[in-house]
Amino acid sequence: MFTGIVEELGQVLHRDGARLRVSASRVLEDVAMGASIALNGCCLTVVAWEEPGSAGAAGWWEADVSEETFTRTSLGSLQPGDPVNLERPVKLEDRMGGHLVQGHVDAVGRVVVPAPELQVEVPESLGRYLVEKGSVTLDGVSLTVVRPDRGRFSVAVIPHTMEVTTLGRRAAGDPLNVEVDVMAKYTETLVSAYLADRAETQEGRDAG
């Protein structure tokens, strides 16, 4: 589980088939085999790494990315040199600076208007999870929805976020990994089941 507060900007070093190598330093401070790191909002598993050298040499880590992940996210379009947002999983004693983020991308959106007044187009099926002042994750960054509007929504990106994440570099037409608030999805499932049970009970009473 993540918070959507990006810890550092890494850089794609190379892709060898399904394996990505990414430069990093801070997220490697307590790394272990099998650890999770969110890359542009996608939860990946560390399978190899090298910590930064004492002479200033950059560190790196690698992850094997499934074809499903390449297909359903924007990771398949990454090229060497591309900057990426990195975050380690939240610790139970950490402050919750953003919101609960799973690192499971729901869809790939498209930038309509770049930051700071960022507007994003998403599949209409996600529209019901986007509410004014609600939370949404874009490329792993926790943001607040300013205005949802039929297949697109806007968020305000402050200068600090534009500087320390990839959002300040995104242009119109660029893809963004979108994860809606998991609490909204759980609520929908619970309420839908409750309403279905009520409808079934009412039908039984009407039939009797």
Q: In the chain, what are the domains?
A: 8-87 (2.40.30.20), 107-187 (2.40.30.20)
Instruction: Collect all residues with Cβ–Cβ distance below 8 Å to 16 and sequence separation of at least 6.
Output: none
Cα–Cα nearest to 161, from 3, 2, 6: 6
Helix/strand/coil for 41? coil
The answer to whether 109 touches 175, Cβ cutoff 8 Å, is yes
pLDDT for residue 73: 97
The whole-angstrom separation of Cα 6 and Cα 149 is: 27
Could you tell me the maximum CA-CA distance found in the chain, to the nearest angstrom? 81
> What does the alpha-carbon distance between residue 39 and residue 75 come to, in Å, rounded to a whole number?
9
Dihedral sign, CA of 34, 178, 127, 68? negative
The structure tokens listed for 115 are: 């930051």
Q: What are phi and psi of 110, to 5 degrees?
A: -130, 140
Per-residue pLDDT of the chain (208 residues; tens, 9 = 90+): 999 999 999 999 999 999 999 999 999 999 999 999 999 999 999 999 999 986 667 899 999 999 999 999 999 999 999 999 999 999 877 777 889 999 999 999 999 999 999 999 999 999 999 999 999 999 999 999 999 998 999 999 999 999 999 999 999 999 999 999 999 888 888 898 777 777 667 666 666 6
Note the pLDDT of residue 207. Answer: 66
Question: What is the DSSP-derived secondary structure letter of residue 139?
Answer: T
> What is the C-alpha separation between 12 and 85, in angstroms, rounded?
11
What was the pLDDT predicted at 82?
A: 97
How far apart (Å, rounded) are the C-alpha atoms in residues 86 and 6? 6
Q: How many CB atoms lie within 10 A of CB 200?
A: 9
Q: Are strands 107-113 and 36-39 parallel, antiparallel or unpaired?
A: unpaired
